[in-house]
Structure 1
């Protein structure tokens, strides 16, 4: 299992540090990992004017060169019911990958580089208490038939975070000890270090996939799709529960042939033991006007396929945000066609949920 060999994903040259984070063991370990980086003290990991005021065109540089080190203040557990039963308090926020459709909040700056939370012990302890309070899962659901599942990486990519600190290793170790709970995260990166974490089936990795040509346009700085697929058998052998995340499904001319080729590549690559337990999420594209404006400044070609008002309509999300989604009625037909294509080539791949 080898990671991408292109331009280094991370070349940390500047670290914005909350003073409290620098006093914690994990914060000190992160600072020691990047001894040559400039350190700038900040009162809050969210309020960093230098990031917020960066030029819109200079989108990728902060993701590669900037790290934020903070303390996670609130530790809520939000019910989910789709990817997981609960969204756990995150051990990070932001991402070094630059997917053009990314919905992650950009409150600390338009590029939203990684923030690592140094108070990992508090996060681990809160998660253990929450799982203990739930007791056994009484009824199976589409998330998991037996265990409560916690999404650990809603705000970033944990395979990338593992390049920076041991937070991810600690989370995987925690779930080995919880008899009624699993951790889960989606990723677009190939990090060989994860193979040594000994998850014992208690952590689910959902590899995000789309057709390779589309990923080259939209999944900027992510691992190539062929490398993500090649990593799946190795992650399974290492003890992870491996699933796939077909996300986002972006509609353009020839989309059926593109996805059919991806399903064929997966079917030819995956071993029987992995196929026997494989499940998928299918998520149709969601976009919005604010992200459209950001992308026009740094990656306008992406908007040729993401911004399609001819086949999209506005819809208010549960959080109150106004998003663009494929038009009602048509979206259902396209989603049904997608699921038919998947079933024809990979009938063993159960669709856990789709929307």
Structure 2
């Protein structure tokens, strides 16, 4: 198995299972090699996404559907991901599923891959190369809906903190733009701070903890998910003072830790919202790449569903949840055929 989890410190690509994969011409065309190029591995969502890709790839390999698969994880930088793409092109893989560090800076190598006959499937954090298939979420739509619901819970007035996601990523830009548009439409809502949480509980907790002492009372926090929601909640609980009596409305991003926390707070009347992109998209991206390599016709642009937790299903969703996870279904080949390949 060509399965390499390269963290920020592991930048060498020599470890790409040298010797276990011959030249592209020697591979069985009926059994492709599918690669994942993941720009960032530093939060729960991304790790779970990689696990979803790997789980489906292992199933396909065990069933004899693919020759092998490759997983490369980066440090969030364009330079490292460009190196990944160059190596994958040199290796002659059949398809690359890419969660991109930049919408534009990787386009040159993506187009080079396409020209070499490699199928490129950009997902979650997209690139804009015309030759790439694109599988993503409606970040603008769902973040607009969630921001409006959150502001409704504070009567559309008060002080708000905006916690942004992975700096420089396409999803961060889309979600932030959607949130700003909603905020701009509510003149009685004041943004008192903006911080980056990197979609990570510990980073978000530290960022909120650093700014809280200098802020007026905060009524709501707009986040981006990953696991920032639980980190934000922890920061306010540790701050104590007035927040010991009344916590702000903190947007949930689908982390199981937050949903479990919210389920307990709901017993005392706490209300909020939770919507999240699903890291199971990694599995969907694998099967989409596989089907395209095998000749399936797919739309150039495809949209994944998001997961929603609300008061009506909170208790049900919390039941049996394990800590440290992001709420997500799994997506297999049958799901991809029914929901993506038939999309218009």
Same fold? TM cut 0.5: no
Q: TM-score range by the shorter chain?
A: 0.3 to 0.5
Q: Which has the higher contact order (CA 8 A, sep 6+)?
A: 2
TM-score of the superposed pair, with normalisation by structure 1: 0.33
Q: Specify the structure having the higher radius of gyration (Cα).
A: 2
